[in-house]
C-alpha cells in the first residue's frame, strides 16, 4: 500500500474509534498527498513483510483499532522520518497494554522524537514476542535487502543492538538473489555461527528452530525483494530477526528506503563482435596527408591484414585517393555502402560530431571506434561525453538505427588468426600478432595492460584481444554475452578496473552463459584499494564499487579471480594451452630435489588437492623404476623426483602412469642433465610425446623449465606442442590455484 493509501486508511480508522483531526497523535505526514516519501517506516515495512508471507509482530497504529487485551505485554514504538535507531532516542517502550498508558507514552515519545529534529510519523503498538534464547550465545539475527548494481543482495548475520560488533567478529553472509536460491542460502546459513546456534549444532545447545522453518523464511525474503522491486524500494533492514517459542523467525523491527527509478541500460545491437572480428569493409578518418601520427599508424597496421586488401577506405575531404587507397569526402557515401568498422582517429569534438552525423543519416557503420580521449572523462570540459551518451540512449530507446561505439580511448583490438590490428602502436614497438590464433579472448579496461600481455607472451594462443576503453557504449558484459554465442571462444580473460551503471549484474549473467557452455572466465580486479580506485578513475573513468560484493556475485556466476597480475599471467598460460578448468588432485614429477621439496611446500599451503599413490600404483611405480635402472636412486612416492639420471623414456613412462592417478600433472625438467635432449630440434619428439599423453588421458599437463635464456628454444618446443610452460613450479601451481578457486593458506596469495 502506498503512503497516500495508508494515510486514507488511518483517517478512516480514526473516524471509527472517535479520533479527532487535531489529535496530537494523528498522522503527521501532510506531504504524503503531494510526493512519495523515500523513507519507509515500520508500519509500511510490516505491511510488505506480511504480503511476503513473513511474520512481523501483530501491530496497529495508535489512533486506529488496537487489537490487544488490557494488561497484555506490548512494545510501543515512536516512528519518525529517517529515524533508523529508535532505542537511542527513547522511542521504544515495553509496557502492559492500556489505552491511557499507551497514549500517554506515545505523546512523550513524540516530544522526544521531534525535539531531536525528526518529523513525527506514527506511534505503533506491537505484540511483545517471547524470544527463544541459547544461554550465553547470540540468538538475534540481522537481515538487509539492498538493490544495487548486483541486483538484490541479502546480507544475513548476527543482529540486535550489537550487530556491528558481532559482524566484525562473525562476518555476515552475502547472497546475490539473482544467482542464489533459498536452498543454497540455507546451506550456507547452516555453516554460519547464527545458523549453528539456531539449529542446535553447538555443543550443549538445543535446536531453537528447524531447517524447514528457516527455508520458509528465506523463501519469504526472496518474495519480499520482488515486492520491494515493484515499489521502487532500494533498501529494507530487518533487525532484529528473532525466533519465537515455536521456532518461527520473526522480524521485530523493519525500516527501508525508496529510490527514484533509473533508466534501463540499453546494450548495443547484436552482431557487433562479428563486425569487429572479421570486418568486410573498414573506413578510417584522421589520416594525415603527410603520413605519421596516430591515424597513419593505425592505417599501417590495418594494411598488414591480408583479408583487408582492397577493403579499406579513408574519409578525406577533397581527396579521391591517398597512399594508394580510395577516399570518400564525407559520411554520406557510407549510407548506401556501409562499412563494418569505422575508426575515428580525430580530435574529440570532431569525433563526436562525426558520430552525430552518422546517427542523423541513419546508417553507415556497424561499429565505430573512438580513438580520442576527452569524451566523458576528466579532460572533457564541454560535456561532449554527456551529449553523445544521451544521444545513444535516446536513439536506441526510440528504436532508431544506432551504431555500436567502442571507447572513447579505444586503443584498438587484434585478431591474431588474421593479423588484424587496429591499434596505434608502431610495428617496431610491438611484435606483430602471431598468425596461429586460438580460442582465448582477452578483454581489458586498460589498453596498456592488453599491449603488455601481447608483448610479453606472444606465444599465447589468443583468438581476440580488445581494449575496451571508457565503455561509453559497448562494455565488458556486452563482449562477454557476444563471446558466449561464439563457438570459437574457448576461454575468456578480463582485466577489470570497475563497473559502470548496469554492468555488474549483466556481467554475472554473461559469465553464467559462458560457464554453461564450458568456457572458463578468468578475471583480475584492479583498483581494490582507495588509492587504486582513484588511479583507475583518473585514466579510464572506472567506477569504484563494493569489491567484496562484486567478487561474491561473479564467483557465484562461475568466474575465477586472480589476486595479482602474476597470478593472472600464470592462469593465462594454462588457459591458452588447455582451456579445460583443471580438476582433481595435483601430482608433481621432476628431476630436481629442490623442485620436489619446494613443490611439496607450496602444495601443502596452496589449498590445492594433492595426489596420493595407493599400494597398487606404488608397486607399479617401483617396477617402472626398475625397468629404467632407477631403483635405489628414486623413492616411489609423490612428489616423484626422478633425479638427473632419468632420461626422456623414464619421464614418459612415469607421466603415463601418474596421469591415471592425478587430475593434473606438473612436470619439472631442469635441463642441465645430459639425459635430456635440450636442443630445439632434438626436444621436439619428446614434447610431442608428452602432448599425446595429455590428450590420451584427457588431463591438464604443464612443463616447468627452471633455467635461463639459454633454454628459451627448449621451452618453445613444448609450447609449439601445445603445452603450458612455466619458469618455476610455484608459478605453475599459482595458476592452478586461481583456476580451481583454491584458497591459499599463505603462499602465492
HEC secondary structure over 25-46: CCCCCHHHHCCCCCEECHHHHH
Q: Would you list the domain boundaries of the chain?
A: 3-37+58-127, 141-258, 586-740
Q: Are strands 233-243 and 254-258 parallel, antiparallel or unpaired?
A: antiparallel
| The pLDDT of residue 743 | 73
The residue to which cell 583518473 is assigned: 538
All cell numbers assigned to 463 = 583468438
| C-beta of residue 599 within 8 angstroms of C-beta of residue 731 | no
Residues 6 or more apart from 525 whose CB is under 8 A from it? 496, 497, 547, 550, 551, 561
Across the range 221-239, mean pLDDT stands at 95
CA angle, residues 518, 521, 526, in degrees to nearest 5? 175
| 35 pLDDT tier (thresholds 50, 70, 90) | very low
pLDDT beyond 70 at 565 = yes
The pLDDT score that the predictor gives to residue 582 is 83
CA atoms of 729 and 644, how far apart (whole Å): 17
Task: Render pLDDT for 333-382 as a digit per residue (tens, 0 to 9).
Answer: 999 999 999 999 999 999 999 999 999 999 999 999 999 999 988 888 89
User: pLDDT value at position 66?
Assistant: 86
User: How many Å separate Cα 319 from the centre of its chain?
Assistant: 48
Q: With 80 as the cut, is the pLDDT of residue 34 above it?
A: no
Closest listed residue to residue 103, CA positions, set 132, 125, 84: 125
Write out the CATH class of domain 586-740.
alpha beta
Instruction: Give the whole-number percent of the chain exceeding pLDDT 70.
Output: 91
Cα three-residue angle 443-444-447, rounded to 5 degrees: 130
Q: What does the pLDDT read at residue 42?
A: 93
Q: What number of CA atoms fall less than 13 Å from residue 649's CA on the CB side? A: 7
- pTM to 2 decimals? 0.85
With beta carbons less than 8 A apart as the criterion, state whether 393 and 263 touch: yes
Residue 528 pLDDT class (50, 70, 90 cuts): low
Task: Give the pLDDT of residue 412.
Answer: 96
Average pLDDT over residues 627-631: 95
Q: What is the pLDDT, as a whole number, of residue 545?
A: 52
- Between CA 32 and CA 54 the distance in angstroms is 27
Query: In the CATH scheme, what is the code of domain 141-258?
Result: 3.30.470.20
| pLDDT category of residue 265 using cuts at 50, 70 and 90 | confident
Kindly state the helix (H) or strand (E) to which residue 625 belongs, with its residue range: helix 615-627
Q: What is the pLDDT of residue 435?
A: 58
Domains 141-258 and 586-740 share a fold: no
> How far apart (Å, rounded) are the C-alpha atoms in residues 697 and 695?
5
pLDDT exceeds cutoff 80 at 749: no
Backbone angles phi, psi at 256, to 5 degrees: -165, -170
Query: What pLDDT, on the 0 to 100 scale, is given for residue 434?
Result: 60
pLDDT bucket at 37, cuts 50 / 70 / 90: low
Give the model confidence (pLDDT) of 162-213 as tens digits: 777 888 889 999 999 999 999 999 999 999 999 999 999 999 999 999 999 9
pLDDT for the residue 744: 60
More confident residue, 315 or 580: 315
pLDDT of residue 292: 86
Residue 411 contacts residue 423 (beta carbons within 8 Å): yes
The residue-averaged pLDDT of 288-304 equals: 94
Encode pLDDT of 70-119 as tens digits.
Answer: 999 999 999 999 998 898 899 999 999 999 999 999 999 999 999 999 99
Average pLDDT over residues 222-227: 98
Alpha-carbon distance of 460 to 568, in angstroms, equals 13
- What is the β-pairing status of strands 312-315 and 282-285? parallel
Q: What does the chain come to in residues?
A: 749
How would you classify the pairing of strands 586-590 and 560-561? unpaired
Residue 537 has pLDDT above 80, yes or no: no
pLDDT tens-digit profile of 689-733?
999 999 999 999 999 999 999 999 999 999 999 999 999 999 999
Residue 639 reports pLDDT greater than 50: yes
Q: What is the signed CA dihedral for 192, 196, 199, 200, rounded to 10 degrees?
A: -170
b or e along 268-282 (b: 16 or more beta carbons within 10 Å of the residue's beta carbon)?
Answer: bbeebbbbbbebebb
pLDDT for residue 541 is more than 50: no
**Looking at per-residue confidence, does 20 or 711 come out higher?**
711
> Does residue 52 carry a pLDDT above 80?
yes
Mean pLDDT in residue range 519-539: 65
> pLDDT class for 547, splitting at 50, 70, 90?
confident
Amino acid at each position: 500500500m502506498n503512503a497516500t493509501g495508508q494515510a486514507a486508511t488511518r483517517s478512516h480508522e480514526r473516524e471509527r474509534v472517535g479520533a479527532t483531526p487535531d489529535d496530537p497523535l494523528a498522522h503527521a505526514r501532510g506531504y504524503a498527498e503531494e510526493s512519495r516519501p523515500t523513507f519507509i517506516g515500520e508500519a509500511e515495512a510490516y505491511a510488505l513483510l506480511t504480503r511476503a508471507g513473513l511474520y512481523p509482530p501483530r501491530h496497529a497504529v495508535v489512533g486506529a483499532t488496537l487489537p490487544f487485551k488490557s494488561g497484555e505485554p506490548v512494545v510501543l514504538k515512536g516512528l519518525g522520518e529517517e529515524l533508523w535507531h529508535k532505542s537511542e532516542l527513547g522511542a521504544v517502550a515495553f509496557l502492559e497494554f492500556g489505552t491511557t498508558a499507551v497514549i500517554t507514552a506515545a505523546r512523550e515519545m513524540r516530544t522526544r522524537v521531534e525535539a531531536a529534529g525528526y518529523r513525527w510519523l506514527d506511534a505503533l503498538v506491537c505484540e511483545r514476542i517471547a524470544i527463544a534464547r541459547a544461554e550465553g550465545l547470540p540468538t538475534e539475527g540481522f537481515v538487509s535487502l539492498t538493490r544495487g548494481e548486483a541486483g538484490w543482495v541479502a546480507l544475513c548475520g548476527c543482529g540486535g543492538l550489537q550487530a556491528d560488533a558481532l559482524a566484525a567478529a562473525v562476518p555476515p553472509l552475502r547472497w546475490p538473489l539473482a544467482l542464489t536460491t533459498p536452498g543454497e542460502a540455507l546451506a550456507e546459513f547452516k555453516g554460519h555461527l547464527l545458523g549453528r546456534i539456531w539449529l542446535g549444532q553447538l555443543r550443549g545447545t538445543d535446536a531453537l528452530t528447524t531447517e524447514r522453518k528457516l527455508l520458509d523464511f528465506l523463501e519469504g525474503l526472496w518474495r519480499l525483494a520482488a515486492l520491494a522491486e515493484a515499489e521502487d524500494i532500494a533498501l529494507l533492514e530487518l533487525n532484529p530477526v528473532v525466533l519465537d517459542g515455536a521456532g518461527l523467525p520473526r522480524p521485530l523491527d523493519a525500516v527501508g528506503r525508496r529510490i527514484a527509478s533509473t533508466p534501463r541500460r540499453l546494450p548495443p545491437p547484436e552482431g557487433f563482435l562479428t563486425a569487429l572480428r572479421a570486418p568486410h569493409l573498414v573506413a578510417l578518418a584522421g589520416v594525415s596527408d603527410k603520413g605519421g601520427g596516430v591515424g597513419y599508424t593505425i592505417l599501417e597496421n590495418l594494411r598488414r591484414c591480408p583479408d583487408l586488401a582492397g577493403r579499406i577506405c579513408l574519409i578525406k575531404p577533397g581527396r579521391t585517393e591517398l597512399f594508394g587507397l580510395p577516399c570518400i569526402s564525407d559520411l554520406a557515401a557510407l549510407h548506401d555502402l556501409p562499412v563494418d568498422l569505422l575508426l575515428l582517429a580525430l580530435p574529440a569534438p570532431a569525433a563526436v560530431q562525426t558520430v552525430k552525423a552518422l546517427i542523423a543519416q541513419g546508417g553507415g557503420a556497424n561499429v565505430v571506434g573512438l580513438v580520442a580521449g576527452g569524451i566523458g572523462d576528466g579532460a572533457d570540459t564541454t560535456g561532449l561525453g554527456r551529449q553523445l551518451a544521451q544521444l545513444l540512449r535516446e536513439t536506441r530507446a526510440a528504436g532508431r538505427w544506432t551504431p555500436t561505439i567502442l571507447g572513447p580511448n579505444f586503443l584498438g583490438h587484434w585478431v591474431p588468426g588474421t593479423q588484424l590490428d587496429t591499434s596505434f602502436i608502431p610495428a617496431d614497438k610491438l611484435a606483430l600478432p602471431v598468425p596461429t590464433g586460438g580460442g582465448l579472448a582477452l578483454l581489458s579496461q586498460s589498453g596498456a595492460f592488453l599491449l603488455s600481455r601481447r608483448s610479453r607472451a606472444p606465444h599465447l594462443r589468443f583468438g581476440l584481444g580488445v581494449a575496451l576503453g571508457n565503455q561509453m557504449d559497448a562494455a565488458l558484459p556486452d563482449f562477454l554475452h557476444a563471446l558466449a554465442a561464439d563457438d570459437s571462444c574457448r576461454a575468456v580473460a578480463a582485466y577489470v578496473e570497475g563497473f559502470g551503471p548496469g554492468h555488474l549484474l549483466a556481467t554475472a549473467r554473461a559469465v553464467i552463459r559462458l560457464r554453461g557452455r564450458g568456457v572458463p572466465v578468468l578475471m583480475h580486479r584492479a583498483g581494490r584499494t582507495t588509492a587504486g580506485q582513484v588511479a583507475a578513475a583518473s585514466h579510464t573513468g572506472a567506477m569504484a564499487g563494493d569489491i567484496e560484493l562484486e567478487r561474491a556475485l561473479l564467483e557465484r556466476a562461475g568466474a575465477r579471480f586472480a589476486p595479482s597480475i602474476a597470478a593472472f599471467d600464470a592462469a593465462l598460460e594454462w588457459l591458452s594451452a588447455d582451456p579445460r578448468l583443471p580438476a582433481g588432485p595435483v601430482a608433481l614429477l621432476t628431476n630436481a630435489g629442490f623442485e620436489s621439496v619446494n613443490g611439496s611446500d607450496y602444495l601443502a599451503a596452496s589449498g590445492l588437492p594433492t595426489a596420493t599413490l595407493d599400494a597398487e600404483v606404488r608397486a607399479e611405480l617401483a617396477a617402472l623404476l626398475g625397468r629404467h635402472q632407477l631403483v635405489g636412486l628414486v623413492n616411489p612416492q609423490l612428489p616423484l623426483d626422478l633425479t638427473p639420471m632419468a632420461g626422456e623414456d623414464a619421464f614418459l613412462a612415469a607421466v603415463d602412469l601418474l596421469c591415471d592417478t592425478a587430475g593434473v600433472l606438473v612436470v619439472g625438467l631442469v635441463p642441465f642433465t645430459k639425459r635430456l635432449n635440450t636442443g630445439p630440434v632434438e626436444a621436439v619428439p619428446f614434447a610431442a610425446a608428452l602432448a599425446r599423453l595429455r590428450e590420451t588421458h584427457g588431463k591438464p599437463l604443464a612443463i616447468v623449465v627452471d633455467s635461463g635464456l639459454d633454454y628459451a628454444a627448449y621451452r618453445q618446443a613444448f609450447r609449439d606442442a601445445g603445452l603450458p610452460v612455466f619458469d618455476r613450479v610455484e608459478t605453475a601451481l599459482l595458476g592452478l590455484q586461481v583456476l580451481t578457486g583454491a584458497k591459499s593458506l599463505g603462499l602465492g596469495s
